[in-house]
Amino acid sequence: MIDFVAPTIDWAAVSPVLVVLAAGVLGVLLEALVPARARRSVQLVLTLGALAGALVAVALLWGRVQEAALSVVGGSYLLTPFGLGVQAVVVVCALLGVLVVADRPGGQDAFAPTAAAVPGSTYEEQARRAGLEQTEVYPLVLFATGGMMLFPATDDLVMLFIALEVLSLPLYVLCATARRRRLLSQEAAAKYFLLGSFASALLIFGVALLYGFAGSVRLGAIAEALAGQGASPLAGMDVLALAGVLLVVAGLLFKVGAAPFHAWTPDVYTGAPTPVTGFMAACTKAAAVGALVRFLFTLAEGMDAGTRHGVEVVLWTVALLTMVVGTVVGVVQTDIKRVLAYSSIAHAGFVLVALVGFSETGAAAVLFYLLAYGLATVGAFAVVTVVRERLTTPVPDAEHGAASAASDTLLGEATHLAQWAGVGRKAPWLTAAFALFLLSMAGIPLTAGFIAKFGAFSAAVDAGAWPLAVAGVVASAVAVFFYVRVIVLMVLTPPADELVPDGGAPDGGAPEAAGTDAGPDAGAAAHAVGGGAPTGTLTAAPAATRTVVTVVTTPGPAALVVALCAAGVLLLGLLPASVLDLAGQAAKFVP
């Protein structure tokens, strides 16, 4: 028997991921041992501390990684400068995302008191009255973040799959925890879980094919086998390899949210609690694109012209399709979260445009794009969390006297676009920030989005893919339409504070919403709005007319996030040089 040789592990290289995952485990313990009152603050401190620690670790590793990629346990964990760059983006966006998660406008956070309770049941009502909070979201966010950080930093397809699951499973759970519109939230989680499993299956099937082809799950070995140097029994069966690559890419593109693997995005983004949506949209995309780059760039080195051409065809098709679907369908949306969801789909297309050349320039552009997009997205969803409905119920004079003639209850987010009319007047700064995020997503100069789009498109032009770049320009011009529509609505349209009869959303929107592709969940949405209204006072209230007005809640951590993101978007737009420089460093020897 051969003597067992214990592997030496470069703990420093693993430290960013380790800090986050360890904090997640610790978080679960805290959940069990800390009294309920103190839980939220303890969890918050731990989570923010862990993410900040991870960021510091990333910064400390930066210089070391520049010299040589760090390989741990034979490449199960492989830290390239690019991987580290993606980790930095993920951690920054997660930090901001956690702050939004921690926001409690009106004294209630965005999560259900007990997510396991049946919506509308007495048990749920009791939990709500007792003021329970589901502080498990913090460890869940940490686990997901850990998975995301691992995703682009591995040379091993099995590890890739594990990272995928580690990042996905907490997200499935998080999606189901919305405090309001419980059914919609649970439906979103179920959809995300089913479709996510489907995508995971595709990915693992692809891994199997690639293993069959190369006799190894290491990306480096597969690239060698593709180049015909390895000891594979099947060298030359490139079709098998191509099918494997295609399946793995499909699994990754699902997480990226690129068409035709995007179908889950709008529904899940709409149903999930908004802070989670923001976190998910920014970080998952960054991690998945990072993994895609890692996978494709490594294999591209070994591919012959034919196979490589095949992969390029995939990227071209998917990028084109994604941009078209994201922008065209986005135009007809009437719900702000769906607008942002389709915008996120379109952005996936723009990122893919930068990839087509498999070049260093492209990788640098991708990194910058992910950061610019992440900041704008987290910021935009943070804004969505604080624009709320308020229910003003007249209270009968006999009971309370004339002085308290009305009682206010803060309801859920006002996500229908019609409710956003005139928000600009109520909260000019918030609106300005939101407009900035939208303009950045549209790629208007002096915002981060412009530099990002410019980098992405010029990388494509460099690679000779100018038709794709032109298509990207056209798509982004069309996309401007729906961003500007929202801005116009907020700034220039007077607010429509209307009287609404019992238990319904403002009238203006309902028929329109039914006309869009909200179709599948329209029924659930109506149910959730109508039947699942979360407050006990609501049912106890007299059947008088209730006004539903859009209010902007008082500033909390979310406001801080909005300010930070706005500052970031502006800074990256005005003085992108230093960050572009970092992205350039990270893109050296990409694979």
Partner 1 sequence: MQTLGLAPWLVGLPLAGAAVLLLGGRRTDRWGHWLGVLASTAAFAVGLVLLADVLRLPADERVAVHSLGTWLEVGTLQVDAAFRVDPLSLTFVLLVTFVGTLIHLYSVAYMAHDVDRRRFFAYLNLFVAAMLLLVLADSYLLLFVGWEGVGVASFLLIGFWDHRRENAVAGKKAFVMNRVGDMGLIVAMMLMLWQVGSLSFGDVLGAAGGMSTGVATAIGLMLLLAACGKSAQFPLQAWLGDAMAGPTPVSALIHAATMVTAGVYLLVRSAPVLEAAPTAQLVVAVVGAVTLLFGAVVGCAKDDIKKALAASTMSQIGYMMLAAGLGPIGYAFAIFHLVTHGFFKAGLFLGAGSVMHAMDDSVDMRRFGGLGRALPVTAVTMGLGWLAILGVPPFSGYWSKDKIIEAAFVGEGWRPWVFGTVALVGAGITAFYMSRLFFMTFAGRRRWESEGEGARHPHEAPFLMRLPMIVLAVGSVALGGLLTLGGGFTTWLEPVVGHAEHHDPVLPVWLIITLTLVLVVLGAALAFRLYAVQQVPVEPPASNALVRAARRDLYQDPVNETLAMLPGQVATRTLVYADRTVVDSAFLRLASGVRRAGDGLRRSQNGYVRSYAATTLGGLLVVAAVVWALAY
Partner 2 sequence: MTNPYVPVLVLMAVAAVLALGGVAASAVIGPKRYNRAKLEAYECGIQPTPQATGGGRLPVKYYLVAMTFIVFDIEVVFLYPWAVSFAWLAGFGLVAMLVFLALITVPFVYEWRRGGFDWV
Residues in region 240-259 near partner 1 by CB under 8 A: 242-243, 246-247, 250, 254, 259
Minimum distance of partner 2 from residue 120's CB (angstroms): 7
Q: Is 589 in the site for partner 1 (CB under 8 A)?
A: no
Task: Identify residues 119-178 at the interface with partner 1 (CB under 8 A).
Answer: none
Q: Is 389 in the site for partner 1 (CB under 8 A)?
A: no
Place of tokens 């000891």: 231
Q: Are 490 and 378 in contact (CB under 8 A)?
A: no
Beta partners for 389?
550
How far apart (Å, rounded) are the C-alpha atoms in residues 237 and 244? 11
- The DSSP bridge pattern shows strands 387-394 and 77-79 to be unpaired
Two structure tokens written together for 248: 């793995």
Element (H, E) at 32: helix 11-33
Place of tokens 């087509």: 356
Which of 317, 404, 407, 545 binds partner 1 (CB under 8 A)? It is: 317
Region from 22-30, 47-55, 284-292, 356-364 binding partner 1, contact rule CB under 8 A: 356-364
Which of 42, 44, 190, 410 binds partner 1 (CB under 8 A)? It is: 190
**Looking at this protein, which amino acid is placed at residue 495?**
P
52 or 194: whose CB is closer to partner 1? 194
Minimum distance of partner 2 from residue 1's CB (angstroms): 7
Q: Is 469 in the site for partner 1 (CB under 8 A)?
A: yes
Two structure tokens written together for 211: 């293993």
Which of 9, 130, 406, 470 binds partner 1 (CB under 8 A)? It is: 470
Minimum distance of partner 2 from residue 32's CB (angstroms): 4
How far apart (Å, rounded) are the C-alpha atoms in residues 475 and 466? 14
79 or 582: whose CB is closer to partner 1? 582
31 or 517: whose CB is closer to partner 2? 31
CA distances 497 to 117, 325, 333, 423, 488, Å, are 34, 33, 21, 11, 17
Minimum distance of partner 2 from residue 35's CB (angstroms): 11
**Looking at this protein, which amino acid is placed at residue 218?**
R
How far apart (Å, rounded) are the C-alpha atoms in residues 505 and 556? 26
22 or 478: whose CB is closer to partner 2? 22
Task: Identify residues 27-66 at the interface with partner 2 (CB under 8 A).
Answer: 28-29, 31-33
Beta partners for 394?
406
Minimum distance of partner 2 from residue 50's CB (angstroms): 16
CA angle 232, 238, 239 (to 5 degrees): 130
Class of residue 205 by CB neighbours under 10 A (exposed 0-12, middle 13-18, buried 19+): middle
Region from 21-29, 198-206, 369-377, 405-413 binding partner 2, contact rule CB under 8 A: 21-29
Strand blocks (E) in 139-204? none
Task: Identify residues 183-242 at the interface with partner 2 (CB under 8 A).
Answer: 212, 233-234, 237, 240
Minimum distance of partner 2 from residue 509's CB (angstroms): 27
Site map (CB under 8 A) of partner 1, residues 565-584, x = contact: -----------xx--xx--x
**Looking at this protein, which amino acid is placed at residue 394?**
P
| 332 binding partner (options partner 2, partner 1, none; Cβ < 5 to 8 Å by kind) | partner 1
| 56 binding partner (options partner 2, partner 1, none; Cβ < 5 to 8 Å by kind) | none
Minimum distance of partner 2 from residue 34's CB (angstroms): 10
12 or 461: whose CB is closer to partner 1? 461
Q: Is 25 in the site for partner 2 (CB under 8 A)?
A: yes
Which of 1, 305, 398, 402 binds partner 2 (CB under 8 A)? It is: 1
How many of the chain's residues bind partner 2 (CB under 8 A)?
Answer: 20
Minimum distance of partner 1 from residue 196's CB (angstroms): 11
- Sign of the alpha-carbon dihedral angle for 581, 582, 583, 585: positive
Minimum distance of partner 2 from residue 579's CB (angstroms): 37
Q: Are 419 and 506 in contact (CB under 8 A)?
A: yes
Q: Which candidate, 321, 264, 253, places its Cα nearest to that of 291?
A: 253
209 or 582: whose CB is closer to partner 2? 209
Longest Cα–Cα distance in the chain? 90
87 or 232: whose CB is closer to partner 2? 232
Place of tokens 């419980």: 182
Q: Is 488 in the site for partner 1 (CB under 8 A)?
A: yes
Element (H, E) at 45: helix 36-67
Minimum distance of partner 1 from residue 106's CB (angstroms): 26
Q: Is 462 in the site for partner 1 (CB under 8 A)?
A: yes
Two structure tokens written together for 486: 């929202």
| 4 binding partner (options partner 2, partner 1, none; Cβ < 5 to 8 Å by kind) | partner 2
Which of 69, 365, 380, 387 binds partner 1 (CB under 8 A)? It is: 365
Beta partners for 71?
78
Task: Identify residues 284-313 at the interface with partner 1 (CB under 8 A).
Answer: 306-307, 309-310, 313
Minimum distance of partner 1 from residue 569's CB (angstroms): 15
How far apart (Å, rounded) are the C-alpha atoms in residues 121 and 113? 12
Q: Are 246 and 160 in contact (CB under 8 A)?
A: no
Region from 26-34, 397-405, 456-464, 530-538 binding partner 1, contact rule CB under 8 A: 456-464
Q: Work out the number of other CB atoms within 10 angstroms of the CB of residue 138.
A: 28
Task: Identify residues 409-448 at the interface with partner 1 (CB under 8 A).
Answer: 439, 444-446
Minimum distance of partner 1 from residue 519's CB (angstroms): 6
Contacts of 339 (CB under 8 A, 6+ apart): 330, 333, 417, 482, 486
DSSP state for residue 495 in the 8-state scheme: P
Two structure tokens written together for 36: 């309920």
Strand blocks (E) in 82-202? none
Task: Identify residues 100-129 at the interface with partner 2 (CB under 8 A).
Answer: 116, 118-122
DSSP state for residue 88 in the 8-state scheme: H
How far apart (Å, rounded) are the C-alpha atoms in residues 24 and 18? 10
Which of 203, 378, 521, 565 binds partner 1 (CB under 8 A)? It is: 521
Site residues for partner 2 per CB under 8 A? 1, 4, 6, 25, 28-29, 31-33, 116, 118-122, 212, 233-234, 237, 240
